[in-house]
Chains A and B, each alone.
Chain A
């Protein structure tokens, strides 16, 4: 893509994509969860990746290939019709204060970055999430991680610097509201779908 170092790229995440992932992790508080980011390079600015949607994937046994492979096939197929593709990976660790990127997260993100080289990892930051109700922080409750020149994943800046942006400035306010109303109960992931295909990982109508 000829972008220079990944550090120059900005990632702009839409409210819906952002909130869906956080709610998913809240639905499964005692487990590690993951998801994929959906979007495209901004048609107006090659230096910005627009993350317009997200799909929550699993809340158990994240390290198994078969469910992952089948879901990536279906997800890609679903979004290609909208001119979008899988552009990144989201991960929330099992433990509250665990801010490490585990092998599973890196492996899955490596795979995604083979198809979309600018793919980031967004890692949930539980301390920031907890602090949401107490403050007016407008920055995302996620850490941005990108691949550096030696192909290793590293965290970008203390709070993502200004490289990870919330598209809608009031996203955290909306998120706090949804948390208060226990909206996480309505989030469906691919795990749920594979157990019961009537459950829809697209989560249509979640934010209506």
Chain B
């Protein structure tokens, strides 16, 4: 996950590099650090460093990291020759390396040679049963083959061993969501909130899932987690503000005819109108042409 500041910084650097303003290595390092997927850019600018002997030697031992990064980007862009060349150079420098072995298997994956890739990973796993990256590649293969149930099974097994891997929990949640297995997705977000209680995105995702499952209890819960998101983001999260308003409307609908206090005793009644006001203020300031749309949406939610 990347913050807005990090993304802005990355985009600025990308524009600078792409327009000949230099800073390619800085850009490539930031891409590695943030673990974002900008394969076309990485391929273009990484390759240009690698094809220049002066720039290559200026990197020192980092040049091998660059080889790996460019290899992966090349695979993502279906440029198998470039990938193969990088891997060859790495094989020469690091014979018998497991890390290079992983790259070879990855290339098989990129070419769609699933059976051979799976074999390569299995044999690498024999010597390294706790290699997290290889376990995850097997999940990726099952996703690519359109076998989400297998992906889920593998990912669950993985998480039994590596339960602190929050990216894996997120991935599992997203696979569950794509299959509309909302309760299972909720469980994943619960794990994430337990281990990372100050990350607002997990509270937000959990709230969204609870709202989607529906039912009065879940809506009341969702509202709590939207409120937590607003708290953790200093009131700046548009999605959470919308969530509060949607919850208020849905809760009101479901509470019709029930004793109001029984149904919903945990609320701060001014919360939805505060959220609505905050939304309108944000739109007025930043997207005035859309103000009427959000106001009308809020009105139809009876706020």
How many residues on A have C-beta within 8 angstroms of the other chain's C-beta atoms? 29
Residues 160-195 of chain A, each 1 if its beta carbon lies under 8 Å from chain B, else 0: 000000000000000000000000000000000011
Q: A191's closest neighbor in chain B, by CB?
A: B239
Task: Report yes or no: B174 in contact with A77, Cβ–Cβ below 8 A.
Answer: no
CB contacts (< 8 Å) of A74 on chain B: these are: 290, 293-294, 296-297
Q: Is the CB of B239 within 8 A of A194?
A: yes
Structural contact, B208 and A200, CB atoms closer than 8 A: no
- The answer, among B209, B282, B294, B300, for a CB contact under 8 Å with A64, is B209
Residues 81-111 (chain A) with a chain B CB within 8 angstroms: 94-95, 98, 102-104, 107
Report B-chain residues with C-beta under 8 Å of the C-beta of A102. Answer: 178
Name the B residues within 8 Å of A78 (CB-CB): 293
Q: Could you tell me the distance between the alpha carbons of A104 and B239 in the complex, rounded to whole angstroms?
A: 20
> Does chain A have a CB within 8 A of B179?
yes
Whether A77 lies near B293 (C-beta < 8 A) is: yes
Instruction: Judge whether A65 and B211 touch: CB under 8 Å.
Output: yes
Which residues on the B side are within 8 Å of A95 (C-beta)? 144, 146
Question: Which A62-82 residues have a C-beta within 8 angstroms of B?
Answer: 62-67, 69-70, 73-74, 77-78
The residue in A65, A70, A73, A198 that gathers the most chain B C-beta atoms within 10 A of its C-beta is A70
Contact call A64/B212, Cβ cutoff below 8 A: yes
Q: A104 and B180: CB pair below 8 A?
A: yes
B146 touches A63 (CB 8 A): no
Flag if A66 contacts B208 (CB, 8 Å). yes
Pick the contact of A30: B37, B180, B296 (CB < 8 A). B37
Instruction: Give residues 244-303 of B contacting A (CB, 8 Å).
Output: 246, 282-283, 286-287, 289-290, 292-294, 296-297, 300-301
A32 at the interface (CB under 8 A from B): yes
Per a CB cutoff under 8 Å, which of A63, A77, A200 touches B296?
Answer: A77
Q: A7–B208 Cα gap in the complex (Å)?
A: 37
A149 at the B interface (CB under 8 A): no
Docked pose: A200 CA to B293 CA in angstroms: 12
B238 within 8 A of A: yes
- Chain B residues near A69: list those with CB within 8 A: 246
Which range holds the interface residue count of chain B? Answer: 20 to 34
Question: A15 vs B238: C-alpha distance in the bound complex, in angstroms?
Answer: 32
Q: Is the CB of B287 within 8 A of A200?
A: yes
Q: Is B100 on the interface with A (CB-CB < 8 A)?
A: no
Q: Determine the chain B residues whose CB is within 8 A of the CB of A197 once the complex forms.
A: 238, 282-283, 286-287, 290
Cβ of A194: which chain B residues have Cβ within 8 Å of it? 238-239, 242
Report if B243 contacts A (CB, 8 A). Answer: yes
Asked if A32 and B178 make an inter-chain contact with CB atoms under 8 angstroms apart, the answer reads: yes
A77: chain B residues at CB < 8 Å are 292-293, 296-297
With A and B bound together, what is the CA distance between A104 and B289 in angstroms? 31
Provide the residues of chain A in CB contact with B209, threshold 8 Å.
64
Instruction: Compute how far the CA of A87 lies from the CA of B300 in the bound complex, rounded to whole angstroms.
Output: 20
Task: Determine which residue in A194, A197, A198 has the highest number of CB atoms from chain B within 10 A of its CB, and name it.
Answer: A197
Q: Is the CB of B208 within 8 A of A64?
A: yes
Query: Chain A residues with Cβ under 8 A from B292's Cβ?
Result: 77
Instruction: Give the docked Cα–Cα distance between A38 and B4 (Å).
Output: 31
Residues of A contacting B212 with CB < 8 Å?
63-66
- The chain A residues found within 8 Å of chain B, CB to CB, are 30, 32, 60-67, 69-70, 73-74, 77-78, 94-95, 98, 102-104, 107, 194-198, 200
Give 11 pairs: A residue, B residue, CB < 8 Å, sorted on A: A32-B178, A62-B178, A64-B208, A64-B212, A67-B208, A73-B297, A73-B301, A77-B297, A197-B282, A197-B287, A198-B286
Chain B interface (Cβ < 8 Å from any Cβ of A): 4, 37, 144, 146, 174, 177-180, 182, 205, 207-209, 211-212, 238-239, 242-243, 246, 282-283, 286-287, 289-290, 292-294, 296-297, 300-301
